[in-house]
Amino acid sequence: MADPAWRRPLLVGIAGGSGSGKTTIADAVAEALPEVVLLQHDAYYRDRTDLDFAERSRLNYDHPDSLETELLIEHLDLLVRGVPIARPVYDFSVHLRSREVVRIEPASIIVVEGILVLADKDLRDRLDLKIYVDTDPDLRLARRLERDITERGRTVPSVLAQYFETVRPMHLEFVEPSKRYADLIIPEGYNDRAVITVIEMLRARLAEIRQLTPS
């Protein structure tokens, strides 16, 4: 049940290509602002238990249809009303959702982070501040290789094959075009000045919302 004294939170989207540095920026913002709770879009990959591992491995995980964005939107709407959610946990090593969930409490600032956050109109229209992290493709590929090998148990050939078969084409079709919806574009990924700018913008926007929203 929602707290009757609850005030509407500030909703922020941080998008950008795979390996752009958006997660690092989102984490830095959350560390600096105790009012922030993070939601990762890729926690909402569809749970394709109808397929075996080989079939799941061949899916295009960079296409918008691979994500259960409607559930993310439902969860956002609950948090906006002051209601906690049970966020899914996705196991990238087997391409399935875990049986575990993470309880997320409402907060004054909700940051949604993911490559396709600005590509979905229903999600985008709920955001008060839209940020796009624009990073050189070679740097993004290098970061993706390191992440997928060390954190997700992938091999170099599998990461490269996925990059050229789906990641790059989907980036050009869906991710890069979504940049035009951004209120703020951060060039070349993470840097201290960019993080400070985002933190200052969030503080200012949150103050505006609190002035406009009755207690």
**Averaged pLDDT, groups of 10, the chain, 215 residues long:** 70 93 92 95 96 92 96 98 97 92 96 97 96 90 86 85 90 96 89 89 83 65
Helices 192-212 and 22-32, packing angle to 10 deg: 60
According to the model, what pLDDT value does residue 18 have?
A: 86
Q: Tell me the whole-structure pTM to 2 decimals.
A: 0.89
According to the model, what pLDDT value does residue 207 have?
A: 82
Measure the CA dihedral 207/180/64/116, to 10°.
-40
According to the model, what pLDDT value does residue 213 have?
A: 63
CATH 3.20.20.210 fits 10-201, yes or no: no
Measure the CA dihedral 42/85/48/156, to 10°.
30
According to the model, what pLDDT value does residue 71 have?
A: 98
According to the model, what pLDDT value does residue 7 have?
A: 83
According to the model, what pLDDT value does residue 1 have?
A: 54
β-pair partners for 86: 103
DSSP 97: E
According to the model, what pLDDT value does residue 2 have?
A: 54
Query: Going by C-beta distance under 8 Å and a sequence separation of 6 or more, which residues neighbour residue 32?
Result: 195, 199
Q: Which residue is it, tokens 């790059």?
A: 168
